[in-house]
Amino acid sequence: MIRVTEQESLVELRKRLAAERNAYRKQVIVSSGTCGEACGSLVVINAFRRELAELGLADKVLLRATGCHGFCEQEPLAIIHPGNIFYCHVSPDDVCEIVSRTVARGEVIERLLYTDPVSGQKVTTEAEIPFYAAQDRVLLGQNQRLDPTSIDDYIADGGYSALAKVLAQMGPEEVIDEIKASGLRGRGGGGFPTGRKWASCRAARGDLKYVICNADEGDPGAYMDRSLLEGNPHLVLEGMIIGAYAIGAKEGYIYVRNEYPLALKHARHAVQQARACGFLGKNILGTGFCFDVEIARGAGAFVCGESTALMNSLEGKVGEPRPKDVHTVEEGLWGRPSNLNNVETWANVPGIINKGASWFASIGTESSKGTKIFSLTGQVRNTGLVEVPMGTSLRTIVFDIGGGAAGGGTVKAVQTGGPSGGCLPQSKFDLQVDFETLEQAGSMVGSGGMAVVMDEETCMVDMAKYFLDFLQDESCGKCVPCRVGVDRMLEIVTDITEGRGRPEHLDLLEDLSETVAETSLCALGKTAPNPLASTLRYFRNEYEAHIHERRCPAGVCRALIRYAIDAEKCNGCGVCRKACPHGAVTGEKKQPHSIDPDLCTKCGICRDSCKFEAVRVF
Among 50, 250, 488, 558, binds another protein (CB under 8 A): 488
C-alpha distances in angstroms, 522 versus 478, 482, 519?
10, 9, 9
Q: Which 3 state secondary structure label does DSSP give 33? A: coil
CA distance 570 to 587: 11
**In what helix (H) or strand (E) does residue 469 lie, and over which residues does it extend?**
helix 460-474
8 A C-beta contact, residue 29 and residue 79: yes
* 284: three-class secondary structure by DSSP: strand
> Of residues 512, 570, 585, 614, which one binds another protein by CB under 8 A?
512
Could you say whether residue 366 binds another protein (CB under 8 A)?
A: no
Torsion-angle region of 278 (φ positive above 0: left; ψ -120 to 50: alpha; else: beta): left
Out of 232, 313, 348, 520, the residue judged to bind another protein by CB under 8 A: 520
Among 173, 294, 473, 608, binds another protein (CB under 8 A): 473
CB of 488 to another protein, least distance (A): 6
Instruction: Return d(Cα 314, Cα 54) in angstroms, integer.
Output: 49
- Tell the smallest beta-carbon distance from residue 308 to another protein (Å): 11
**How many residues sit in the footprint of another protein (CB under 8 A)?**
32
Judged by CB under 8 A, the stretch of 65-73, 459-467, 471-479, 535-543 that binds another protein is: 471-479
Q: Shortest gap between Cβ of 484 and another protein (angstroms)?
A: 4
- DSSP result, 222-265: --HHHHHHHH-HHHHHHHHHHHHHHHT-SEEEEEEETT-HHHHH
Query: Residue 529 CB, nearest distance to another protein (Å)?
Result: 12
Choose which of 491, 498, 588, 596 interacts with another protein (CB under 8 A). 491
For residues 390 and 538, what is the distance between their CA atoms, to the nearest angstrom? 24
**Does residue 208 belong to the site contacting another protein (CB under 8 A)?**
no
Tell me the window of 39-47, 438-446, 513-521, 598-606 that interacts with another protein (CB under 8 A): 513-521
Distance from C-alpha of 103 to C-alpha of 80, rounded to nearest angstrom: 7
Give the β-pairing of 411-416 and 449-454: antiparallel
Q: Which stretch binds another protein (CB under 8 A): 69-77, 168-176, 359-367, 484-492?
A: 484-492
Q: At residue 586, what are phi and psi to the nearest 5 degrees?
A: -130, 160
| Phi, psi dihedrals of residue 17, rounded to the nearest 5° | -65, -40
Q: Which of 32, 40, 132, 24 is nearest to 94 (CA)?
A: 40
The least distance separating another protein from the CB of residue 543, rounded to whole angstroms, comes to 17
Residue closer to another protein by CB (options 82, 323) is 323
**List 480, 564, 575, 617, residue binding another protein (CB under 8 A):** 480
Q: How far is the CB of 313 from another protein (least distance, A)?
A: 12
Alpha carbon distance 591, 535 (integer Å): 43
Supply the minimum distance, in Å, between the C-beta of residue 531 and another protein: 17
What is the C-alpha radius of gyration for the chain, rounded to an integer number of angstroms? 27
**130: cis peptide before it, omega within 30°?**
no
Give the bridge partners for 251, in sequence order: 210, 292
* Window 273 to 332, contacts with another protein (CB under 8 A): 301, 303, 318, 323, 325-326
- Select from 47-55, 364-372, 515-523, 593-601 the region that touches another protein (CB under 8 A): 515-523
**Among residues 93, 110, 504, 598, which is the contact residue for another protein, using CB under 8 A?**
504
Please pick, from the candidates 494, 519, 594, 609, the single residue that binds another protein as defined by CB under 8 A. 519
Interface with another protein includes 393 (CB under 8 A)?
A: no
Q: Where does this chain bind another protein (CB under 8 A)? A: 301, 303, 318, 323, 325-326, 472-481, 483-485, 487-488, 491, 504, 508, 511-512, 514-515, 518-521
